[in-house]
């Protein structure tokens, strides 16, 4: 279930990257169309094959790094996907698709490294109850109940139908 959820999130990110911002990458549109097509068809090996030369031509392009992250997650290489999302964030620290991809991978792993990413997300989107809930769960898992309690409270009704979370 964890890998499937990460893949679902990454596919949504791919759609956002590829269809909401056509031509925004400063790359040849036909290259972008091929990458978009490969990701849209879940042909992640092909997407990786196509994104590599695009990154060679534009190594500081945060969007391309995020696209590579989506493709890596698609082939089951979460570690490489995370590295790509983090590289994207090096170039654009508030780039939401990369931030969401990195958060999802770190959260699924139960890693405390997701905490500063979630805090960054909440600075960008303070009313995001899902990010707030994820932060609450991770802080609770780290034994920081003092930090988790207000996050659970601010998450609102997000946990109302989650008995385990309510118990925590």
The domain spans of the chain are 1-98, 110-168
Task: Write the CATH number of the domain with boundaries 1-98.
Answer: 1.25.40.10
Question: Quick one: DSSP state of residue 89?
Answer: H
The residue ranking higher by pLDDT, 23 or 13, is 13
pLDDT at 164 over 70: no
CB 101 within 8 A of CB 73: yes
Its sign, for the CA torsion 60, 93, 82, 130, is negative
* pLDDT for 134 beyond 50: yes
| Residue 108: per-residue pLDDT | 92
Residue 26's pLDDT is: 47
Q: What is the mean pLDDT of residues 97-126?
A: 93
25 pLDDT exceeds 50? Answer: no
15 pLDDT above the threshold of 60: no
Residue 61: DSSP 8-state: -
Q: Tens of pLDDT along 136-150?
A: 887 777 776 776 666
Structure tokens at 20: 């909401």
User: Interior CA angle at 40 toward 39 and 43, to 5°?
Assistant: 50
| Structure tokens, 105 | 């991978």
Specify the higher pLDDT residue, 2 or 153. Answer: 153
Task: Please give the pLDDT value at position 141.
Answer: 75
Look at residue 120 and tell me whether its pLDDT is greater than 60: yes
- pLDDT for 159: 56
Share of the chain above pLDDT 70, in %: 68
Long-range CB contact pairs, 130-137, < 8 A, 24+: 130/158, 131/103, 132/158, 133/158, 133/159, 133/165, 134/103, 134/107, 137/165, 137/168
Q: Do domains 1-98 and 110-168 have the same CATH topology?
A: yes
Q: What is the pLDDT of residues 32-65, one digit of tens each?
A: 778 878 988 999 999 999 999 999 998 998 988 9
pLDDT (0 to 100) of residue 19: 46
Classify domain 110-168 by CATH architecture: Alpha Horseshoe (1.25)
Structure tokens at 131: 């990010």
């Amino acid at each position: 279930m964890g890998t499937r959820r990460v893949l679902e999130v990454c596919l949504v990110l791919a759609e956002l990257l590829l269809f909401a911002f056509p031509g925004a990458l400063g790359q040849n549109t036909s290259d972008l169309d091929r990458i978009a097509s490969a990701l849209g068809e879940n042909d992640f090996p092909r997407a990786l094959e196509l994104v590599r030369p695009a990154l060679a031509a534009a190594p500081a392009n945060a969007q391309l790094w995020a696209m590579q992250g989506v493709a890596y997650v698609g082939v089951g290489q979460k570690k490489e996907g995370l590295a790509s999302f983090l590289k994207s964030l090096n170039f654009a620290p508030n780039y939401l698709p990369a931030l969401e991809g990195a958060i999802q991978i770190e959260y699924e792993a139960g890693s405390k490294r997701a905490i500063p990413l979630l805090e960054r997300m909440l600075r960008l989107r303070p009313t995001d109850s899902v990010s707030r809930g994820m932060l609450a769960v991770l802080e609770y898992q780290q034994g920081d109940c003092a930090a988790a309690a207000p996050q659970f409270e601010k998450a609102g009704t997000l946990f109302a139908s989650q008995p385990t979370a309510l118990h925590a």
